Amino acid sequence: MSLKYGILGFLSEWPGASGYDLKKEFDTFMNPFWHTHLSQIYPELNHLEEKDLVHSEVIEQTAKPDKKIYTITEKGRDYLRDWLSSSPQSPKIKEAFLMRSFFLDNVTADEAIFQLQLYKKRREDRLKNMKRTLKQRLTEMKNENAALTPRILMITSVYKKGLDEEKGFIRWCEETIKLIQHYKDLWKKEEREEEDILLNHESLKDAPKWFVELIDEINE
Amino acid sequence: MSLKYGILGFLSEWPGASGYDLKKEFDTFMNPFWHTHLSQIYPELNHLEEKDLVHSEVIEQTAKPDKKIYTITEKGRDYLRDWLSSSPQSPKIKEAFLMRSFFLDNVTADEAIFQLQLYKKRREDRLKNMKRTLKQRLTEMKNENAALTPRILMITSVYKKGLDEEKGFIRWCEETIKLIQHYKDLWKKEEREEEDILLNHESLKDAPKWFVELIDEINE
DNA sequence: AGCTACATGTAATCTGTTACATGATTTC
DNA sequence: GAAATCATGTAACAGATTACATGTAGCT
């Protein structure tokens, strides 16, 4: 549903991209907020052209396969602006790893910690790549034309959020690992039942700070 | 792909839920990380039962339609644990509103600000609902059995992240609104071209702090 | 009289992913 | 000699969404 707008949005600023170029952009520059496949891009481009929202031109190349480059039409720009002005919906969230974490009491504390460490690494890699891509693009833009534009503002703002998302997940993994380590004994069922740790202020005294704060926040 | 694990995970802790019950849980308790539809839940439950991962029982009700309640089998628990121990993948992010924002230079500054205000409201509503749900569940758990369990730890940790996500988006909307307001003139094309604002330290002196910091962070 | 909650499903459609197909050039 | 890059697509399958179907009880 949103893919077509991503394509139109990208073409609105960088005309003359091919389907293959677009895929590379989704994998790098647009990676903080969207991903897709070539097998979805090509039919979508054909569909957009049928509706006269984009227009294509075949470029013959030597030593490389021919390519079709696309330009957005005026009708396409209107269509994009209509979307940008339509009422934004509440996000439809699917965070597979948070779902996993929600049920991590089903495995051992060590396994849970291991999972969080692995996921933290994935997010660290994403953060590194994002920084690299942003730096590269800002440098390119500076070299071409050093003027600050609305375009650069919005890109920077979205990247700020993208980078913060990665940092946020990395921090959360670390905090959650500490939490599990602190309460590791709870995972050993044998040691429970006798003396239960209660969900009250005294028992939470030396628990990680954020955990205590959350319990407090919820109880006003 | 992950839906079945969400169902198994939920049934692993709250046995005796119907498809209808599960939908309510996805809409409330599991809302911070997943969403789905009844028309996806019912076939999935039948599929899980065919594979002996869950087992159902029809409960006849008076004044209400009959319902089928589900219990996870031992095979189902193994299947869930296998998933929980499998290697977590890098997230496949689709944030429609960030994509929108990335292209908001295509509409006026006022329209962009309006969009961000609307989206901020959506996130504020989500935050309120999440807090309400968490408070309610923690209260229920306390009343039943005040013991701190791995289950409660993981739920709390995931909710901490869910709440932070909402707060993070709300803050980002506010910051981005301020940024657009600060650079509003850039959106009026006529006033540009004459004297371009450069992407350097002097021109960024009175720009929002986070914006300057990001530019610095990227340049090491 | 109309709406919401309860409860389970199917059908049609749309979106997304993996696999397949082709073929030249460049890099390891 | 194998793998990656460039380049465009189709086909099959999996997952997600909207619409349709049915019917009672209770609330406004």
Q: What is A34-68 written as a DSSP string?
A: ----HHHHHHHHHHHHHTTSEEEEEE--SSS--EE
Give yes or no for a contact between A26 and B91, defined as CB atoms under 8 angstroms apart: no
Determine the pLDDT at residue B48: 98
Q: Please tell me which residue lies nearest to nucleotide D11, judged from CA to C1'.
A: A39
The alpha carbons of chain A give a radius of gyration, in whole angstroms, of 24
Average pLDDT, chain B: 92
Mean pLDDT of B22-29: 98
Report residue B31 as tokens.
């809302």
- The burial class, CB within 10 Å (0-12 / 13-18 / 19+), for B178 is middle
Per the structure, the residues numbered 82 to 101 in protein chain B that have their CB within 7 angstroms of any atom of strand C are 92, 94
- The burial class, CB within 10 Å (0-12 / 13-18 / 19+), for B38 is exposed
pLDDT beyond 70 at B145: no
Query: Percent of chain A at pLDDT above 90?
Result: 79
Q: Which segments of chain B are extended strands (E)?
A: 17-18, 54-59, 67-72
Nearest to residue B54, comparing CAs of B1, B2, B3, B12?
B12
Among partner residues A94, A151, A198, which is closest to B148 by beta-carbon distance? A198
List of chain A residues with pLDDT < 70:
145-146, 189-201, 220
Report residue A105 as tokens.
């009491």
Length of chain B: 220
Report residue A99 as tokens.
């779902």
Determine the pLDDT at residue A192: 57
Contact B155 A99 (CB under 8 A): no
Mutate to test the interface with B, among A139, A161, A170 (most CBs of B within 10 A): A161
CATH topology (fold) of A3-85: Arc Repressor Mutant, subunit A (1.10.10)
Round to a whole number and report the distance in Å from the CA of B185 to the C1' of D19.
47
pLDDT digits (tens, 9 = 90+) for B172-213: 999 999 999 999 999 986 555 555 666 666 777 788 999 999
| C-alpha triplet B196, B200, B205: angle, nearest 5° | 95
Q: Please tell me which residue lies nearest to nucleotide C25, judged from CA to C1'.
A: A63
Nearest to residue A154, comparing CAs of B57, B17, B97?
B97
